[in-house]
Structure formats: C-alpha cells, structure tokens
Amino acid sequence: MQNDNIIQHPQFIREGKQVAFAPGTLKKVHELILRYPEGQQKSALLPLLHIAQEELGGHLSVDIMDYVASLLGIQPVEVYEVATFYSMFYLDNMGKYVIEVCRTGPCALAGSEQILAHLRDVLEIKPGETTPDGIFSLREVECLGSCGTAPVMQVNTEYYEKLTPGKVDRLLEDLREYANKNKPGGSTWVEKFC
C-alpha cells in the first residue's frame, strides 16, 4: 500500500518552513482575536487567514495554516477545512498580482467575456494559471457586487470597474512597472483594521 501517496494531495505537503508574522502584525492579530468572546478565538480565523495570505507569501501553504492554527489554539485541520472552502484563499503559489475577472450574468451582459478573452490573449494564460515570470495570475470569479459598473475585475482585492480592453492594457502596463519596483498591488488588510 502506498498510503503516503494516496493521502498526500500535492497542495498538502508540509515543508517545515518556519513562518511567523512581523511583530507589528502580530500585535494587530492579538487585538483582532480579542474582538471575539472568551473561548471563541476561532472566530478570528478568516481575518487571520486574509492577513497571513497577504503577508506571508501570497498563498496559504500548509506551514502557514499550521502557524495560524497554533495562534488560535485550534487543530490544523480546522484551518484546512476553512481555507479550502472560501474562494479568496489560495492554496497554490500565485503571481504577484492576482487578476480576478467577474464572470456572472450582469458583467457578461456588459462584455466581461471579451475582457477575459483579451486578458487571456495578452497574458497568454488561462484562468487558473500564472504567467511564467510570476507577475500575474488570472482567475474567474463570481459577482463582485459591482454590477452597475460592469465589467469589473479585482487585482489584489482592489476594484477596477467599467473595463475596456484599452483600460486593461494600461493597467497591466502600470502593474508591470509596479512589479519592477516591487510595489504591492493595493492596500493591506492590517491597515484596514484599526
């Protein structure tokens, strides 16, 4: 029996890397945990996973999920089952800028299919893939609550609305320049919580 091979999904390899939040982040994390009643620290899981994904490498590796579990005093599996449920959490390595194009009805009426086709053409990747230079990942997502300004996409959770292929080109250009200067694609979760 090759038990190991059966059990170990490729995404679930524990690399044993040491991961930890920066001290400033850790302080904020402990404040966040205190927002929930005694004994209910697990409630802070979604906000913590957002912060962890953003600050510890762009996706949730098993090591990161184990670390978050230890911060909350819960079992690692409680983190895995949550991380695999929500579409904003990535288990695979992602590009520096994650482009998420809304595909749902109202956006489709406004031409989201053309926007996605354009992105596929210029980035030469399909949804679910990352460019070889590691700069862009492309994803299709469902309604972003922005149907009045369709078609819409988010890049690292920042909205870009009323898109045209021209606007997309300009944005990609800007983002490539950002990548050169190693700038983030948007604001951070930690600065949102005050």
Partner 1 sequence: MGGKILLASIDIPGIREFGVYRASGGYAAVEQALRGMTPAQVGNEVTKSGLRGRGGAGFPTGLKWSFLDRKSDKPRYLVCNADESEPGTFKDRYLMHHLPHLLIEGLIISSYALGVKTCYIYIRGEFKYLVGILETAIREANKNGFLGERILGTDFSLNIYVHPGAGAYICGEETALLESLEGKRGNPRIKPPFPAFKGLYGCPTVVNNVETLATVAPIIRMGGEAYAKIGRGKSTGTKLISACGNINNPGVYEIEMGLPVEDFIYAPEYCGGIANDKYLKAVIPGGSSVPILPADLMLNTARGEKRLMTYESLADGEFATGTMLGSGGFIVFDEDACIVRNTWNLAHFYRHESCGQCSPCREGTGWMERVLYRIEHGAGKMSDIDLLVRVAKNIEGNTICPLGDAAAWPVASAIRHFRREFEYHVKHPEVVKNTSHGALNYEVESMIPDSGTGVNYW
Closer residue to ligand FES (CB): 55 or 161: 161
- 55 near partner 1, rule: CB under 8 A: no
User: Phi and psi at residue 75, in whole multiples of 5°?
Assistant: -75, 145
Q: Least Å distance between CB 192 and partner 1?
A: 4
> Who contacts 111 (Cβ-Cβ below 8 Å, separation ≥6)?
150, 151
Q: Least Å distance between CB 56 and partner 1?
A: 16
Q: What is the 3-state secondary structure (H, E, C) of the chain?
A: CCHHHHHCCHHHCCCCCCCCCCHHHHHHHHHHHCCCCCCCHHHHHHHHHHHHHHHCCCCCCHHHHHHHHHHHCCCHHHHHHHHCCCCCCCCCCCCCEEEEEECCHHHHHCCHHHHHHHHHHHHCCCCCCECCCCCEEEEEECCCCCHHHCCCEEECCEEECCCCHHHHHHHHHHHHHHHHCCCCCCCCHHHHCC
- 116 near ligand FES, rule: CB under 6 A: no
- 171 near partner 1, rule: CB under 8 A: no
Closer residue to ligand FES (CB): 106 or 127: 106
Interacting stretch for partner 1, rule CB under 8 A, among 6-14, 116-124, 136-144, 163-171?
136-144
Q: Least Å distance between CB 114 and ligand FES?
A: 14
- Is the previous residue joined to 151 through a cis bond, with omega within 30 degrees of 0? yes
- 6 near partner 1, rule: CB under 8 A: no
- 92 near partner 1, rule: CB under 8 A: no
Q: Least Å distance between CB 16 and partner 1?
A: 25
- 107 near ligand FES, rule: CB under 6 A: yes
- 148 near partner 1, rule: CB under 8 A: yes
Which residue is listed with tokens 């044993």? 16
Using CB under 8 A, list all residues that contact partner 1: 35, 37, 40, 42-47, 49-50, 72, 74, 78, 81-82, 85-89, 103-106, 108-110, 113, 141-150, 154, 157-159, 187, 189, 191-194
Using CB under 6 A, list all residues that contact ligand FES: 102, 104-107, 143-147, 150, 152
